[in-house]
Amino acid sequence: MPTPPLDAVVVGSGPNGLAAAIELARRGLAVKVLEARATVGGGVRSAELTLPGFVHDVCSAIHPLAAGSPCFREWPLADHGLEWVHPGAPLAHPLDGGRAVILERSLAATAAGLGGDGRAWRRLVGPLAERWEALAAEVLRPVLRLPRHPLTLARFGLPALLPAATLARRAFAGDGARALLAGIAAHGMQPLDRMATSAVALVLAAAGHAGGWPLPRGGSQGLADALASYLRSLGGEIETGRPVRDLAALPRSRAVVCDLAPRPFLALAGDRLPEAYRRRLEGFRYGPAAFKLDLALDGPIPWAAEDCARAGTVHLGGGLEEIAAGESAVARGEVSESPFVLLAQQSLFDDGRAPGGRHTVWAYCHVPNGSTADVTDAIERQIERFAPGFRDRILARRATSPAAFEEYNPNYVGGDINGGAQDLYQILARPIALPVPYRTPAEGLYLCSASTPPGGGVHGMCGFHAARAVIADLGV
């Protein structure tokens, strides 16, 4: 019997590809996902990268946006094996001299730890955390739309438009609160004196109070596997080990949805696109890259500030001025000697990640796009600065350079892990300014990756909104 035609083929099984497929399947459409690699997940995979028994997150590790995502929250992912592990505190930010500031789940406890700046933290972040669902619905979608929650958006938008360095200096008097905000803002991989760099900080800080910064038990792969299992339960199919090199060779379907950044998308579909659109996609800009270290340790990191051991994520880079200088250097194309390091210590809270008493560490810093510098030593020095004796605990290490990231996944162009620079222009116009940015001019061809709104991070909302565009076009 001939196979019935599909409604949609999704190219790539990152969180956005899987979310797009799920939303289509939920509407009763016949969907198939084709994934180049042997396992599903894109930037949400885990593997033994160092020694046997040590489970490392290959890309993403900490999931404030996934835990707070409007679509993931609605779907029954727990029934498909997803279990969130909440560390004692979402984030610690050590400072020289053995002190640390902590982003706690509780707004009041965070404020208490910030001393004189506690009230300002409450005023800035509290209202956003309290209205997280409205905020997430507004910011995790294309920005160029009429707001559904104008008051929440206005409360967010005014400070969010400021450069993070300006907001930190204006809102806070002490170095602790300033450093805390700067470190969270640095997730955006932009110089902190640029417009709208406060937006990332406010969203992630509010998410920390509202839903935490959790990690999936057993590794990030657990989230990808839960999405894949839910998709299959809806009748969706997934084929792994199936790189798509030619759109003409795809199974017949009414729509093709690509979980791809513009560059790999152009390589695959460029000949189907009108020249004007193609040129605009060619002009899409990529941001700084990540250089990552995965470590196996024979014990926990010996933090000078003991509170750091309560946190799943630790930001290393000293105070606001030092972090801002490092991020500006990266934007100028320089490799910082004292980089801002984002570190996760999952095995402290999830004991299946490493054999008895041993631990995993996930750490990366920002380097210029395409950089070939080996910054292993700079990252380790930064950890040692706040945890003397840490280096003596290293059993094995694995470094991943920007080029290795791009080889692993062509969406990481030049090692950019966000699917394209997230400056103000490319937040508004992603990948280009269009009312429905997911739809391409080629009939039936769509984009759903982190290079579409709302951008990088694991939340699935690019895929969800792309699926809604497909559903509207198919008249379902």
Ligand X SMILES: Cc1cc2nc3c(=O)[nH]c(=O)nc-3n(C[C@H](O)[C@H](O)[C@H](O)COP(=O)(O)OP(=O)(O)OC[C@H]3O[C@@H](n4cnc5c(N)ncnc54)[C@H](O)[C@@H]3O)c2cc1C
* Binding residues for ligand X (CB under 6 A): 11-17, 34-37, 42-44, 59-63, 65, 243-244, 259-260, 264, 268, 290, 292, 364, 405, 409-412, 417-419, 449-450, 456-458, 462
CB closer to ligand X out of 114 and 273: 273
CB closer to ligand X out of 341 and 417: 417
Please, what is the Cα angle at 238 between 234 and 239, to 5 degrees? 165
Q: What is the nearest approach in angstroms of ligand X to the Cβ of residue 171?
A: 25
Token reading at 345: 């210590």
CB closer to ligand X out of 70 and 147: 70
CB closer to ligand X out of 198 and 418: 418
Q: What is the nearest approach in angstroms of ligand X to the Cβ of residue 19?
A: 8
CB closer to ligand X out of 12 and 208: 12
CB closer to ligand X out of 172 and 213: 213
Cβ neighbors of 120 (< 8 A, separation 6 or more) are: 171, 172, 177
CB closer to ligand X out of 450 and 467: 450
Q: How far is CA 238 from CA 34, 124, 405, in A?
A: 6, 44, 24
Whose CA is closest to 289, among 376, 418, 179?
418
Q: What is the nearest approach in angstroms of ligand X to the Cβ of residue 350?
A: 14
CB closer to ligand X out of 171 and 186: 186
Q: What is the nearest approach in angstroms of ligand X to the Cβ of residue 195?
A: 22
Distance between CA atoms of 214 and 216, rounded to whole angstroms?
Answer: 7
Q: What is the DSSP string of 392-406?
A: GGEEEEEEE-HHHHH
Neighbours of 182 (CB within 10 A): 29
Q: What is the nearest approach in angstroms of ligand X to the Cβ of residue 34?
A: 5
Cβ neighbors of 205 (< 8 A, separation 6 or more) are: 103, 125, 128, 129, 181, 184
Do the bridges between strand 394-400 and strand 289-297 make them parallel or antiparallel, or are there none, so unpaired? antiparallel
Do the bridges between strand 253-258 and strand 56-57 make them parallel or antiparallel, or are there none, so unpaired? unpaired
Distance between CA atoms of 97 and 464, rounded to whole angstroms?
Answer: 46
CB closer to ligand X out of 338 and 346: 346
Q: What is the nearest approach in angstroms of ligand X to the Cβ of residue 8?
A: 15
Beta strands in 346-413 (DSSP E): 359-367, 394-400
Of all helices (H) and strands (E), which one includes residue 388?
A: none
Residue 81 burial by Cβ neighbours in a 10 Å radius (0-12, 13-18, 19+): middle
Half-sphere exposure of 81 (CA within 13 A, CB side): 15
Whose CA is closest to 214, among 367, 50, 382, 91?
91
CB closer to ligand X out of 239 and 306: 239
Q: What is the nearest approach in angstroms of ligand X to the Cβ of residue 33?
A: 9
CB closer to ligand X out of 338 and 418: 418
Side by side, the strands of the sheet bearing 311-316 are 99-103, 89-95, 311-316, 341-344, 359-367, 289-297, 394-400
Distance between CA atoms of 470 and 460, rounded to whole angstroms?
Answer: 16
Q: What is the nearest approach in angstroms of ligand X to the Cβ of residue 41?
A: 6
Residue 85 β-bridge partners: 215
Q: What is the nearest approach in angstroms of ligand X to the Cβ of residue 367?
A: 12
Q: What is the nearest approach in angstroms of ligand X to the Cβ of residue 255?
A: 16
Do the bridges between strand 6-11 and strand 253-258 make them parallel or antiparallel, or are there none, so unpaired? parallel
One-letter amino acid at 226 equals A
Task: Check if the beta carbon of residue 358 is closer than 8 Å to that of residue 395.
Answer: yes
Q: What is the nearest approach in angstroms of ligand X to the Cβ of residue 284?
A: 14
Helix/strand/coil for 204: helix
Instruction: Count how many residues are written for the chain.
Output: 476
CB closer to ligand X out of 163 and 419: 419
Task: Check if the beta carbon of residue 262 is closer than 8 Å to that of residue 411.
Answer: no
Q: What is the nearest approach in angstroms of ligand X to the Cβ of residue 51?
A: 20
